[in-house]
Chains A and B, each alone.
Chain A
Amino acid sequence: MFHFEATLLAHLFFGLSLLVILPLLRRRDLVLHLLLLLSLGILFYASSLATLFIGWEMMGWSSYFILASSARVATLQRYILFNLGGAFALLGAIALLYGFMGSLEYRDIDASLLPPWAMNAIALLLFVAVFVKSGIIGLHDWVVDSYSEATPLFSAILSAILSKAGIYLFIVMFMVLLKEGATEPLLFEIMAWLGVITSIVATFKAISQDEMRRLLAYSSIAQIGYIITILALMQGFALEAALYHTLIHTLIKLLLFMNIASIIAITQKERFSELGGMIYHAPVLFLLLVIGIIALAGMPLLGGFNSKFLIYTALLEEKRALLLGAVMFSSASAFLYCYKLVYGIYLGQRPQEASLHVSPKSYYLPQLLSAALLVLLALLPSLPVGYLSVIGVELGFAPLDDSNLFILQSAFGSFHGGALMGAFGVAFVALLGLLQLAHSKAKKVKDPLDISYCGEVPRSETNLHFGYGMGYELHRISFIAPLLRHHSRVLWDRLSLIASDFSALLSSLYSLSAQHVTLLALLLFTLLLLGGQ
């Protein structure tokens, strides 16, 4: 039977949420955060669809109340509308299932009894629920706004933990409960492409953002896009790759959002254009962020590569060359926003000397833990494979080989994390030694403004930090510019206009004069009479 609670994922989410909640102790919204934690527990440990739905709804409501303390009304409305839509879709799917099964218990569900049309309808409804929660492009507006307007700490919870709820729902419903169902394969094909298109579009949107948390919100959307794509393959190794990436992404986003929370606490600023040059004020935070972005970009030497490797090999094994090409393209484009993140905050020149505050010490703990885990996973890439294989094994897929913790195996090759780390370490130390021994002596400039600047002497008011605007030239590239120019919000605004027109029409029924009401009643009566005959 289903033992998802045994997986690392549930434990990890709990541990990490607790960590983020730590700094909140003795604050008034702690209760709401604990409620959120409770709802996660209900979601993860549910054994019937009813409990699952209650957990899902509670999660939505409690985060709405937390969000309400800092977000704008429009954002809150958007949040609640999208999430209600998703929840209704989920409810519809559950109702359909109940109609055929007569029970909501997980163990009573047998998808092979479902007729194909019902299976497809359920799949579609579930897709809507999953897509809304993961912010597939077009449904992503609420994600970006609420991430950037939540309190800095709650952004971390939203991105690291709550964004994974959609993935969890997908795995539970499709890979555990409905795996026997006869779903139209085209649906999954569309889902795979939607995922990868989401990741490409969101990557480019991320590059052109000026606000730190909006950039990270788009990056979350892009990363979850990969996970959606890979899950749509409905294969055992794809499942493991997706779970591995979920784990890594949770760690990375926790690290990055907490880092940004620290920066916001120090500088009280949110935009790249107002930040810069923080590296020598906060070197530890800088190093932690660098670990985060190297992992986010998926480079070897940090854990981020492991899950990317699994994703690529899973796609290779299915011979999905174009899908893989698109995933790799989006992943390569991510370097730009990764660098923008670190440059905009820590590198470059400080725009002007503003007063700096001290970051709370409790913010460092989750960051240090995530960074340590990312380094550990780079050294021992097979460490979580045993945990991740639990579901796969239960579903009858062969587990990944984790006999040697240093080696991450896949059907398309393997790599040795220890060898990579070791070789890099040796090369790094040797080259550093060579540089130290070189005849040439390094002299440090005293004034950070002593840069070679075409012979000019820049003054402190000279704007030297315009590099934060990187990504602007993307607007001039013919096939990227339309992606950046169009907003899905326009579509939703138009829809809301139509809806409000329609409701105005309905509400006019309540304000009719007596004659009109009599006339309508007469008309209705005539119609009824005619129908009766």
Chain B
Amino acid sequence: MDEGFIPYQQSLEDEEQSIKSTQSVIEQAIAWFRAHSMFVLAYGTGCGAIEMPPTFTSRYDIERLGVVGVATPRQADILIVSGYCSPKTLKRVIRSYEQMSEPKYIIGLGSCTINGGMYWDSYNTIKKLDDFLPVDMYVNGCMPRPEALIEGFVKLQEKIRANSSEAGYIQYRTRYAHYRANQERLFGTQVQPRYEENFAGMNL
């Protein structure tokens, strides 16, 4: 299988491990802290939301890895899009992602975020999350077990420590026109405020 999702996932997982050696000590330290303290905005878009409570509570206790749930996008580092996304939900997901502070990452949870999953022919769910938002890690399955989610977090930690220039939030900034075009194509006239227009780049 040379095409499709599996090689894409491969490319997400083992990406530029070599970069690590070229970083300065301070950059490595910063990356270490980022990787070991992940504030998660768990957006329960679909049925994947049901797998997150066990992940966060006593049975699987993901707090061991430094993962904590937060309520607002302003404080979050990682956005989990859990399951199918209808266009109405996607708008809110995008808004939440844009309100997060950089560096920020997205985990797509479940088959629906990858290729529509069992809703592949539904008129009201999107089929590819990475058309609209830069996904840093996919966890597939329907639904993925908490173990799979933890595995996804571990892989994401490696990716954060690699401090790649290909990280999703950088892509979202540099290739914003591409993502915006896809969003506008889906949402028609009812579109979100533009990402660049939300901020004045001044330092107060």
Interface size on B, residues (CB 8 A): 21
CA distance A452 to B92 in the complex (A): 11
Chain B residue contacts of A450, Cβ below 8 A: 99, 193, 198
Chain A residue contacts of B99, Cβ below 8 A: 450, 452
Among listed A127-135, A214-222, A235-243, A436-444, interface-contacting one:
A436-444
Q: With A452-B73, A455-B93 as given contacts, are A443 and B202 in contact (CB-CB < 8 Å)?
A: yes
Chain B residue contacts of A457, Cβ below 8 A: 95, 192-193
List CB contacts (< 8 Å) of A440-473 with chain B. Answer: 440-447, 450, 452, 454-457
Interface pairs A-B: 5 shortest CB-CB: A455-B92, A443-B199, A455-B96, A455-B95, A442-B204
Chain B residue contacts of A440, Cβ below 8 A: 101
CA distance A358 to B45 in the complex (A): 49
Q: Which residue of A lies closest to B101 (CB)?
A: A440
The 8 Å CB contact of B199, one of A444, A452, A454, A455, is A444
Contact A456 B199 (CB under 8 A): no
Chain A residue contacts of B101, Cβ below 8 A: 440
CA distance A377 to B34 in the complex (A): 47
Q: Which residue of A lies closest to B97 (CB)?
A: A455
Q: Which residue of B lies closest to A442 (CB)?
A: B204
A sample of 21 inter-chain contacts (CB < 8 A) reads: A440-B101, A441-B203, A443-B199, A443-B200, A443-B201, A443-B202, A444-B200, A445-B198, A445-B199, A445-B200, A446-B199, A447-B198, A450-B198, A452-B72, A452-B96, A454-B92, A455-B92, A455-B93, A456-B95, A457-B95, A457-B192
Chain A at the B interface: mostly helix, strand, loop or mixed?
A: loop
Interface string of B111-152 (1 = CB under 8 A from A): 000000000000000000000000000000000000000000
Q: Which residue of A lies closest to B98 (CB)?
A: A450
Contact A456 B204 (CB under 8 A): no
Interface string of B72-91 (1 = CB under 8 A from A): 11100000000000000001
Chain A residue contacts of B3, Cβ below 8 A: none
Contact B92 A456 (CB under 8 A): yes
Chain B residue contacts of A456, Cβ below 8 A: 92, 95
Q: Within the complex, what minimum Cβ distance (angstroms) separates B94 from chain A?
A: 9
Q: Which residue of A lies closest to B192 (CB)?
A: A457
Q: Does B197 contact A (CB under 8 A)?
A: yes
Chain A residue contacts of B95, Cβ below 8 A: 455-457
Please count the residue pairs between chain A and chain B whose beta carbons lie under 8 angstroms apart in the complex: 44
Chain B residue contacts of A441, Cβ below 8 A: 203
A443, A444, A447, A454 — most chain B CB neighbours (10 Å)? A443
List CB contacts (< 8 Å) of B173-204 with chain A. Answer: 192-193, 197-204
Interface residues on A, range: 10 to 19
Q: Within the complex, what minimum Cβ distance (angstroms) separates A400 from chain B?
A: 45
Contact B202 A444 (CB under 8 A): yes
B contact residues vs A (CB 8 Å cutoff): 30, 72-74, 91-93, 95-96, 99, 101, 192-193, 197-204
List CB contacts (< 8 Å) of A411-452 with chain B. Answer: 439-447, 450, 452
Q: Within the complex, what minimum Cβ distance (angstroms) separates B33 from chain A?
A: 11
A446, A447, A455, A456 — most chain B CB neighbours (10 Å)? A455
Q: Within the complex, what minimum Cβ distance (angstroms) separates B204 from chain A?
A: 5
Q: Which residue of B lies closest to A456 (CB)?
A: B92
The 8 Å CB contact of A447, one of B93, B96, B193, B201, is B193
CA distance A450 to B99 in the complex (A): 8
CA distance A525 to B201 in the complex (A): 100
Chain B residue contacts of A452, Cβ below 8 A: 72-74, 96, 99
Q: Within the complex, what minimum Cβ distance (angstroms) separates B119 from chain A?
A: 21
Chain B residue contacts of A445, Cβ below 8 A: 198-200
Q: Within the complex, what minimum Cβ distance (angstroms) separates B14 from chain A?
A: 28
Chain A residue contacts of B72, Cβ below 8 A: 452
Contact A446 B197 (CB under 8 A): yes
Contact A446 B203 (CB under 8 A): no
Q: Within the complex, what minimum Cβ distance (angstroms) separates A387 from chain B?
A: 44
CA distance A443 to B204 in the complex (A): 7
Interface string of A166-206 (1 = CB under 8 A from B): 00000000000000000000000000000000000000000
Q: Within the complex, what minimum Cβ distance (angstroms) separates B61 from chain A?
A: 28
Q: Which residue of A lies closest to B204 (CB)?
A: A442
CA distance A54 to B193 in the complex (A): 69
CA distance A444 to B202 in the complex (A): 7
CA distance A288 to B31 in the complex (A): 44
Q: Within the complex, what minimum Cβ distance (angstroms) separates B20 from chain A?
A: 20
Chain A residue contacts of B92, Cβ below 8 A: 454-456
Q: Within the complex, what minimum Cβ distance (angstroms) separates B161 from chain A?
A: 17
Q: Which residue of A lies closest to B75 (CB)?
A: A452
Q: Within the complex, what minimum Cβ distance (angstroms) separates B187 from chain A?
A: 12
Q: Within the complex, what minimum Cβ distance (angstroms) separates A454 from chain B?
A: 8
CA distance A446 to B99 in the complex (A): 13
CA distance A441 to B204 in the complex (A): 8
CA distance A455 to B81 in the complex (A): 13
Q: Within the complex, what minimum Cβ distance (angstroms) separates A431 from chain B?
A: 15
Contact A444 B193 (CB under 8 A): no
CA distance A455 to B85 in the complex (A): 14
Chain B residue contacts of A443, Cβ below 8 A: 199-203
CA distance A335 to B193 in the complex (A): 38
Q: Within the complex, what minimum Cβ distance (angstroms) separates A25 from chain B?
A: 41
CA distance A503 to B15 in the complex (A): 96
A439-B30, A455-B92 given. 8 additional CB < 8 A pairs? A442-B203, A442-B204, A443-B203, A444-B199, A444-B204, A452-B99, A455-B73, A455-B96
Q: Within the complex, what minimum Cβ distance (angstroms) separates A294 from chain B?
A: 23
Chain A residue contacts of B197, Cβ below 8 A: 446-447
B30, B95, B96 — most chain A CB neighbours (10 Å)? B95
Chain A residue contacts of B204, Cβ below 8 A: 442, 444
Contact A446 B198 (CB under 8 A): yes
CA distance A444 to B198 in the complex (A): 9
Contact A446 B200 (CB under 8 A): yes
Q: Within the complex, what minimum Cβ distance (angstroms) separates B122 from chain A?
A: 21
Chain B residue contacts of A444, Cβ below 8 A: 199-200, 202, 204
Q: Within the complex, what minimum Cβ distance (angstroms) separates A453 from chain B?
A: 9
Chain B residue contacts of A447, Cβ below 8 A: 193, 197-198
CA distance A447 to B197 in the complex (A): 9
Chain B residue contacts of A446, Cβ below 8 A: 197-200
CA distance A444 to B72 in the complex (A): 18
